């Protein structure tokens, strides 16, 4: 039995998945238009517009949390554990499925955002500020951020085994705790989660973290959260 295909099929047949996808892809567009209408911000338009990918990434995290925690709430997870006793494989498959869906949403969203920005800049006789290499690295960074948050969301789903609690814990860690660390620890503003995300999605700007360093931060944190979720699931009674 291919667990990844099973988890992808589960996501495909749930209406919430499609709703989240639509919002994740189209939700940032009105804000992007609002940014582009401000002519004094056109020189930074691609950076500011691409920064909206955080909305898509957050919804991908919610999808990952729901994919893992919902089955615990409905008690259908017992069937999956009966068919595959190695629980870590099931959680990993859920994370991989959420990551794939998140990557697809990120690619679609970035395509819409950057195409709109390019057309807008061209009609305003404003130059595109990035080289082709910088543009590709920014696109890759946006997808990486979305994928890693989807994986982290799955991990939080495993830790709490409750959708609402998983999303709340995600917000507390990635926003509240991140804000406290930035305020209390000077170096965190240059090397924390937010700084890593900016490094990945804002080429042409000087950052304390290198691209590889930022990649290590976001991937390492998401895998640590996923490992925590797997550890809890393996010890749960269910």
Measured CA to CA, the distance from residue 209 to residue 20 in angstroms comes to 32
State the sign of the Cα–Cα–Cα–Cα dihedral 145, 147, 153, 155: negative
Helix (H, G, I), strand (E, B) or coil at 193: helix
List the one residue out of 88, 70, 55 whose CA is nearest residue 165.
70
| pLDDT score, position 1 | 53
Kindly tell me if the per-residue pLDDT of 236 is higher than 90.
no
pLDDT tens for 68-94 read 999 999 889 998 898 899 999 999 999
| pLDDT score, position 147 | 97
| pLDDT score, position 39 | 74
Mean pLDDT of the chain: 93
Average pLDDT over residues 107-129: 93
Measured CA to CA, the distance from residue 124 to residue 221 in angstroms comes to 41
Helix axes 15-26, 53-74, angle to 10 degrees: 170
Burial 211-235 (b: 16+ CB within 10 A, else e): beebbebbeebbeebbeebbebbee
| Residue ranges making up the domain that contains 170 | 3-235
What does the angle CA 178 – CA 223 – CA 153 come to, to the nearest 5 degrees?
A: 65
Measured CA to CA, the distance from residue 31 to residue 46 in angstroms comes to 13
Number of domains in the chain: 1
| pLDDT score, position 152 | 97
Average pLDDT over residues 164-168: 94
- According to DSSP, residue 52 is labeled T
| pLDDT score, position 205 | 86
Listed in sequence order, the DSSP H helices in 37-187 are: 45-50, 53-74, 77-83, 87-123, 132-160, 163-171, 178-184
What does the angle CA 154 – CA 91 – CA 13 come to, to the nearest 5 degrees?
A: 75
Average pLDDT over residues 128-152: 95
pLDDT tens for 167-223 read 999 999 998 999 999 999 988 999 999 999 999 999 988 899 999 999 999 999 999
Kindly tell me if the per-residue pLDDT of 24 is higher than 60.
yes
Helix axes 3-12, 53-74, angle to 10 degrees: 100
Average pLDDT over residues 25-40: 89
Kindly tell me if the per-residue pLDDT of 40 is higher than 90.
no
Tell me the percentage of the chain whose pLDDT exceeds 70.
100
Measured CA to CA, the distance from residue 137 to residue 117 in angstroms comes to 17
Tell me the percentage of the chain whose pLDDT exceeds 90.
81
| pLDDT score, position 151 | 97
| pLDDT score, position 216 | 97
Measured CA to CA, the distance from residue 238 to residue 68 in angstroms comes to 13
| pLDDT score, position 159 | 96
CB-CB contact of 8 with 89 (8 Å): no
């Amino acid at each position: 039995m291919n667990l990844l295909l099973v988890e992808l099929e589960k996501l495909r047949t749930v209406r919430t998945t499609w709703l989240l996808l639509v919002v994740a892809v189209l939700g940032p567009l009105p804000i992007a238009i609002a940014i582009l209408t401000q002519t004094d911000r056109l020189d930074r338009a691609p950076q500011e517009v691409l920064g909206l990918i955080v909305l898509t990434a957050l919804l991908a995290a919610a999808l990952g949390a729901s994919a893992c925690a919902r089955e615990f709430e409905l008690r259908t997870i017992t069937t999956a554990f009966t068919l595959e006793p190695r629980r870590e494989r099931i959680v990993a498959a859920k994370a991989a499925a959420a990551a794939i869906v998140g990557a697809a949403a990120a690619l679609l969203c970035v395509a819409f955002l950057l195409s709109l920005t390019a057309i807008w800049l061209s009609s305003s006789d404003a130059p595109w500020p990035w080289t082709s290499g910088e543009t590709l690295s920014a696109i890759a960074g946006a997808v990486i951020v979305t994928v890693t948050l989807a994986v982290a969301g799955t991990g939080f789903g495993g830790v709490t085994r409750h959708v609402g609690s998983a999303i709340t814990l995600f917000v507390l860690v990635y926003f509240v705790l991140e804000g406290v660390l930035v305020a209390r620890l000077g170096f965190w503003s240059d090397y924390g989660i937010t700084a890593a995300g900016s490094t990945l999605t804002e080429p042409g700007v000087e950052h304390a973290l290198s691209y590889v360093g930022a990649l290590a931060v976001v991937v390492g944190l998401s895998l640590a959260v996923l490992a925590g979720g797997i550890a809890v699931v393996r010890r749960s009674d269910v």
